[in-house]
Amino acid sequence: MTMWMVRAGRGGDQVDEFRAKGVVALADELLGPLPQNITKPALLHLYAEKYPEDKEASRAVWASQILRFVTEIQVGDAVLTYDPDQRVYLLGKITSAYEWLPDVVKERPHARRVQWTHEVSRGSVSVTARNTLGAIQALFRIPAEVAEELDALKVPIGQAGAVAPIPSKKPGKSDDATALSALREEILQKADAFIEDAISRLDAYEMQDLVAGILRAMGYRTTVSLPGADRGVDITASPDGLMLQEPRIFVEVKHRTATAMGSKEIRSFLGGRKQGDRCLYVSTGGFSKDAHYEADRSPISITLINMEGVRKLLVDNYDRLDPEARALVPLRKFFWPVVEE
């Protein structure tokens, strides 16, 4: 079975039009009506002509979506859209080739006619399938195993409200709870990677300001060295900001994501320090094995912090960061349901 998801606008705000008018539709009205045999190069050229201010990568994504809608979807294919208010997936069958229908769905003139026949309660769908159906694309082909699950769960339109959500299995963790935990872990790993991507885009001086901001969030007062000749210390920090109270912290920041610091750099940094100083060496490119050995045997206290360490410190102290430091790597909290073990 070939099944497609076509989203009914942002947040499903046009699902009532899809349902009432028996269509699925996509935007980009500036393109005008398209020939049934249009090619990807022709679409890219048209997008560049009609949307010159947009990024080439964005235009390529839009062109791929429209191309699939016009040329890949076939009469008889199953189609799905989501109604967030009713919490149901509306299921039907494509009944026409691509049509230009500018007066049917507002601002969505690229259309195909649909016979809506069934619906599936979101609560009855597995977490794995919900994750797949949550993809952000306006149009995508649904994997066979998810399509089969939806087909098995479908009921005539108007009856999905009578379908109870799948109950958790007791005792022990349900399959859905296990899938939800795995999905949470996957999302957190991706979030960590994207935060590190944002950190890596900072320039050297912004990186120094970020590290100083983290130290301030941890309760220290900081001084960042002015741009220019490197005197071996990029940041100093102490409780009073005057380096009169302990602990006095000396910080070197190297923002070279492809270059690991070695033992030579550690020795050079420690060369100007004395017993009792506290030292941080931040390297977003990490450290060699010899660098760790050099730090471990040093009589002067030194902590090595790599990109992962910077990211963890940033996240752990983000609520206490001042606005200047937050502006360097803007983050937003998100909430996740608690999964019972």
Query: CATH code at 223?
Result: 3.40.1350.10
Tokens of 28: 């980009």
Decide if pLDDT at 230 tops 70.
no
Question: 19 and 139: one domain?
Answer: yes
Average pLDDT over residues 109-115: 97
Q: Are 156 and 10 within one domain?
A: yes
Q: What is the percentage of the chain residues whose pLDDT exceeds 90?
A: 71
Same domain, 138 and 65: yes
Residues 193, 201: Cα–Cα separation, whole Å: 13
Tokens of 245: 């109270």
Which of 43-47, 222-226, 228-232 shows the highest mean pLDDT?
Answer: 43-47
CB 52 within 8 A of CB 68: no
Per the domain annotation, does 190 fall within a domain? no
- Domain hosting 299: range is 200-328
The C-alpha torsion from 70 through 87 and 147 to 57, rounded to 10°, is: 40
CB 102 within 8 A of CB 82: no
Check pLDDT > 90 for residue 208. yes
Distance CA 30, CA 340 (A): 49
Q: What is the pLDDT of residues 88-103, one digit of tens each?
A: 999 999 999 999 999 9
Count CB neighbours of 262 within 10 A. Answer: 15
Same-domain pairing of 236 and 154 = no
Length of the chain: 341
Q: Please indicate, yes or no, whether residues 316 and 215 belong to a single structural domain of this protein.
A: yes
Mean pLDDT, residues 192-211 taken together: 94
Whether a cis peptide bond, with omega within 30° of 0, leads into 171 is: yes
What CA–CA distances, in Å, run from 294 to 261, 271, 286, 300? 11, 12, 14, 11
Q: Could you report the per-residue pLDDT of 269-320, keeping only the tens digit for each? A: 998 788 888 999 999 999 999 999 999 999 999 999 999 999 999 999 999 9
Same domain, 48 and 119: yes
Is residue 213 domain-shared with residue 153, that is, in the same domain?
Answer: no
Query: Looking at per-residue confidence, does 97 or 228 come out higher?
Result: 97
